[in-house]
Structure 1
Amino acid sequence: MASITSSGLRSNLDINSIVSQLISAERTPTQNRLNRKEATLQAQISGFGTVKSALSALERANTVLTATNTFMGIKATPGNSNLLTATALSSAPIGSYNIEVSQRAQGQTLASGTFSAVSSTVGTGTLTIEFGQYTGGDPQGLPPTPPTGFNPNADKSSLTLTIDDSNKTLEGIRDAINTAKKGVTASIINDGSTGGGYRLMLSSDDPGLKNSLKITAGGGDGGLASIAYDPTTGVNNLTETVAAQDAQIKVNGLSITSSSNTLSSAIAGVTLTLQDKGSTTLNLSRDTAAATNAVEGFVKAYNSILETVNKLSFYNAETGEKGALLGDAALRSINAQMRRILGDGVSGDSTFRTLSSVGVTLERDNTTKLDILKLDSSKLQQALGTDAAGVSKLFAGSGSGDTRVEGLSSRLNTFLDATLSRTGTLQGKTDSFNARLKDITGQRSALDQRMAKVEARYLAQFRAMDAIVGKMTSTGNYLTQQLAGLSAFYTNQS
């Protein structure tokens, strides 16, 4: 607001100070009212933000309970995790298995003869690398007959490289193979032998017999023949330093072969990862810990909502203190609807129909004086051990389509999704508060404009008064002078 000044020179009054005080006295009540209203709205917006955050946390915790696997999970426990690790789907059969790992799968590695330097020329022509050439792990001679069921790796395409003057060196061939990224990695090592000792190493990226290598050379100057390898025809110009082999295990005495150290079909629903050779047991049991943790997380998140609502809606009759959302109908409605959803039972053929049947009850907390959820873990464990599928139906529901029976968590998530959506209750309240804040901004602007006009009017009035006082002072001074002159005249006459 622009300031209009007047010094009050004629009346000797501090007009600016007087007008400022008058404006402040007139502005303050309205300004204080707007400040209080703004502070209240800000507190309400912050309060609903806190509620939204707590409800979002509850939704995340509750979503875990809507998944059937949370309750039907299977825990795979190996007797010796140094030999193997395991994970299991909910479909895995509960039981104990004896597992013997006699051989882990490994990829093949081939080494060339020695060269004097990495820049040594090997040769030009075409180099073709194929997969699935069985060697039987015998680098000294022709391989034995492939085992029953052995098939070359039909999933990998062969790699054909053109080697010319630009890449005919040891390092050039290495880089050409690696750039192709076709399932084989090339490297150069120095074995320390006299005269250089640089060797080209070729390793299959994946383990198993089906990923063993066949390397053929053709055309060019014939130099590439020094790195050809086809044991099926007796071409062994590369040395097999590591033989390709499949993993071999026994599950309860039944032999199983795999080209990978990760076996996903040896036991239905179970993935085994082989770490070492040896014998161990594998126990598959119901994973009640995951379900218990999920229910505990839900109970904690729900009670957090109750505590949040209590802090925002409390009233202290002795001190007059109150929460930012005291008496808010939307907050009461959200709290009431959640309590109703969790208090209802589920229909269908579930063994457990209510939360209390699995150990979750609503009880009075002496510290907070709130009715909060409490979990009897032993009762939940018993329910999971008796009928995990029934516990799952209580929370996650069962069936599909027209026969779908909603579980308590499924119902609650439907409500939370709607409440937290952009068109939900919380966003609607926040939008309303923000609109009222915007209105306060407009009222402040209007107040500034009105005060500017009042200030101008007061200053005009005081300037007029100052002019009148000035005239009166001038007239008084004149009369005083005249009277003083008359007094002197009469004094002289006498």
Structure 2
Amino acid sequence: MENQGSSIIQALGAGSGIDFIQLASDLSQATFDPQRANLNSRTEALTARISAASLLRSSLNDLAAALGDRVRNGDLSPTPSLTNPAIADVSTTSGIAPQGTYSLEVSQLASGQTLALQDYSSGSDLVGEGTLNIRFGTVNGASFTEDTGQTALAIQMTDADTLSSLAGKISAGSDGKLFAYVAQGSGGAQLVIKGEDGATNGFVLEPAGGSGAGGPGDLGYLAWSPASDAGELRQSAQDAIFELDTVQITSSSNTVTGLPEGISLELLETNVGAPATLSFSNNTGAISAVMTDLVAALNDIVGLLSEASSGLGGALTNDQGARELRRDLSALTTQRVIPGAAEGEPSTLADLGLKITREGTFAFDSGRLNDTLTASPDAAAAMFTAGPFGVFATIDNLARDNTLSSDSSSLGGSVARYQAQIERNDERLADIAEDQEQLRNRLTRSFVSAQSVVASSQSTLSFLQQQIDAFNQSN
């Protein structure tokens, strides 16, 4: 858009030789340049502070996350050991440190019902039209008690269905509860149906709509119930039964979870009359390794903090969040991470070998850790849990407390404060741009007026000069 007044000046001839439009623009810009430069300088400094504080905040969060992964992955938990490992595979819940010993005696494994039905000549034999109903429940001797909480199946059969196609329909239509296939044995083809583990997962076969002939080719030939069993039942559905410290426990699966102290079992064999002993050994090597890594990570943070907050040129010199972080780090070794620890039991990071040097950096005292592991191995291992107390909770709280945006004394609060100042600077820069434009317009109008006066004066001078010249010529 053409500057206000420029056309007027051009129309008047601008005989002074001065570009008043550019002059107005230059003067208005020069008026506000110092303010703009000051604000831009402040924004650059604030951006550097945000960058430094954000890097520290990110480093704290990364440390907490990495330590949490180590704890939850279970490599710091005590290692389970069973005197008869053939009985069960043992695992523990990540973040829980089980202690003590347990006796384990398995008297029965969980299993699913298996039926091998009567013979056909081949899998391509027709089985008959109708509906094969399958109900689930508990088979006990010759009786069957339906579990009404499980949905019964209704397998629809056509006159073209064979023994093999029936097997496919059972497997596909049961949503994983049953698996069926045709086994070609020495006596002919048999439909084999296997159910899920657990006593309540037994099942009966109840055909409907058959011709009543009762032989192969009639759907009624596939009927089965425990009362009519003639050897088709090859494996009964049953629960696993075992004793943990002589307390009997049943499970519908051989995979057992929810046991004390986060113990899980995968039952493999029975050991009636010969209980096995389950115990736990602490992984001292993993504890030493994680403490070494923790010291290195903390020193990285101390280095970043020193670089950002030391000297006059530090981005976070005199920053409240940086000062608070330094205080928290200096108190880290003596902070009680296990508030309820018994007298003489480890309760601080110093007990795990973390110490602070005179220079304000961290160091690893392996001798102190070894003394703790020798005197209180279980208590030391219990400090590495995912619970509300312990090493992870302490580092996690350190990260949270120093990165919370709503806390004005934290690094998070510093970032929020600096961001707000940048926003105010941007608003002030916008105001300056508006003020500068207004000044430019005022100057342009003034120069237009001045140019008009100059043009008028030049016209008068020219007229007078003409009169004088004419007078001189006449004389």
Q: TM-score, normalised by structure 2?
A: 0.70
* Paired position in structure 2 for 1:285: 281
* Paired position in structure 2 for 1:343: 334
2:462, 2:264 → 1: CA distance? 114
* Paired position in structure 2 for 1:443: 428
CA contact (8 A) 2:205 2:223 kept: yes
* Paired position in structure 2 for 1:466: 451
Equivalences for residues 197-276 of structure 1 within 5 A: 201-206=192-197, 214-217=204-207, 220-222=210-212, 223-230=218-225, 233-235=228-230, 261-262=254-255, 271-273=264-266
Secondary structure of 1:429 counterpart: helix
* Paired position in structure 2 for 1:128: 134
Per mean C-alpha deviation after superposition, the further-off stretch among 462-471 and 162-171 is 162-171
CA contact (8 A) 1:174 1:200 kept: no
Displacement, 1:88?
A: 4.3
CA contact (8 A) 1:77 1:283 kept: yes
CA contact (8 A) 1:112 1:227 kept: yes
1:38, 1:56 → 2: CA distance? 26
- Closer/same/farther in 2, CA of residues 440 and 329 from structure 1, 3 Å limit: same
* Paired position in structure 1 for 2:18: 13
The alignment's C-alpha RMSD in Å is 5.4
Selected match of 1:424 from 397, 401, 407? 407
1:424, 1:380 → 2: CA distance? 35
CA contact (8 A) 1:129 1:160 kept: yes
Q: Which runs of 5+ in 1 are unaligned?
A: 135-144, 317-321, 365-369, 401-405
- In the alignment, is residue 374 of structure 1 matched against residue 370 of structure 2? no
Secondary structure of 2:311 counterpart: coil
Secondary structure of 1:463 counterpart: helix
1:450, 1:159 → 2: CA distance? 78
- Closer/same/farther in 2, CA of residues 306 and 352 from structure 1, 3 Å limit: same
> Which amino acid in 1 is paired with 2:221?
S
* Paired position in structure 1 for 2:273: none
1:104, 1:395 → 2: CA distance? 35
* Paired position in structure 2 for 1:23: 28
CA contact (8 A) 2:99 2:378 kept: no
Displacement, 1:75?
A: 0.8
CA contact (8 A) 1:343 1:354 kept: yes
CA contact (8 A) 1:125 1:221 kept: no
Displacement, 1:468?
A: 2.1
- In the alignment, is residue 36 of structure 1 matched against residue 19 of structure 2? no
2:110, 2:386 → 1: CA distance? 43
- Give CA deviations for 1:52-87 in whole Å, capped at 9, x if unaligned: 2223234446668999x987x321368999997432
Displacement, 1:349?
A: 0.7
Equivalences for residues 471-490 of structure 1 within 5 A: 471-490=456-475
CA contact (8 A) 1:61 1:294 kept: no
Secondary structure of 1:423 counterpart: coil
2:277, 2:382 → 1: CA distance? 32
CA contact (8 A) 1:125 1:217 kept: yes
**Equivalences, count:** 445
1:288, 1:265 → 2: CA distance? 26
Q: Which runs of 5+ in 2 are unaligned?
A: 213-217, 271-275
CA contact (8 A) 1:350 1:394 kept: no
Secondary structure of 1:351 counterpart: coil
> Which amino acid in 1 is paired with 2:195?
S
- Give CA deviations for 1:419-448 in whole Å, capped at 9, x if unaligned: 444532334333332332232233223212
- In the alignment, is residue 383 of structure 1 matched against residue 372 of structure 2? yes
CA contact (8 A) 2:63 2:297 kept: yes
CA contact (8 A) 1:363 1:372 kept: yes
- Give CA deviations for 1:223-251 in whole Å, capped at 9, x if unaligned: 32222345764445x696x99899999x9
CA contact (8 A) 1:342 1:408 kept: no
1:226, 1:211 → 2: CA distance? 23
Secondary structure of 2:57 counterpart: helix
Secondary structure of 2:357 counterpart: strand
- Give CA deviations for 1:442-470 in whole Å, capped at 9, x if unaligned: 32232123212211221122112211222
- Closer/same/farther in 2, CA of residues 233 and 293 from structure 1, 3 Å limit: farther
* Paired position in structure 2 for 1:306: 302
- In the alignment, is residue 295 of structure 1 matched against residue 291 of structure 2? yes
- Closer/same/farther in 2, CA of residues 28 and 75 from structure 1, 3 Å limit: same
- Give CA deviations for 1:185-241 in whole Å, capped at 9, x if unaligned: 345x69699xxx9975522233x78866543445643432222345764445x696x
1:410, 1:269 → 2: CA distance? 19
CA contact (8 A) 1:65 1:295 kept: no
CA contact (8 A) 1:299 1:375 kept: yes
1:202, 1:327 → 2: CA distance? 76
CA contact (8 A) 1:85 1:272 kept: yes
Secondary structure of 1:205 counterpart: strand
* Paired position in structure 2 for 1:52: 57
CA contact (8 A) 1:261 1:274 kept: yes
2:357, 2:290 → 1: CA distance? 20
Displacement, 1:332?
A: 0.8
Secondary structure of 2:432 counterpart: helix
1:363, 1:228 → 2: CA distance? 81
1:479, 1:111 → 2: CA distance? 134
Secondary structure of 1:204 counterpart: strand
Secondary structure of 1:27 counterpart: helix
Selected match of 2:323 from 326, 332, 341? 332
* Paired position in structure 2 for 1:141: none
2:319, 2:156 → 1: CA distance? 82
Displacement, 1:18?
A: 1.6
* Paired position in structure 1 for 2:215: none
- Closer/same/farther in 2, CA of residues 88 and 448 from structure 1, 3 Å limit: closer
1:217, 1:239 → 2: CA distance? 17
- Closer/same/farther in 2, CA of residues 377 and 87 from structure 1, 3 Å limit: farther
- Closer/same/farther in 2, CA of residues 259 and 466 from structure 1, 3 Å limit: closer
Q: TM-score, normalised by structure 1?
A: 0.68
- Closer/same/farther in 2, CA of residues 167 and 440 from structure 1, 3 Å limit: farther
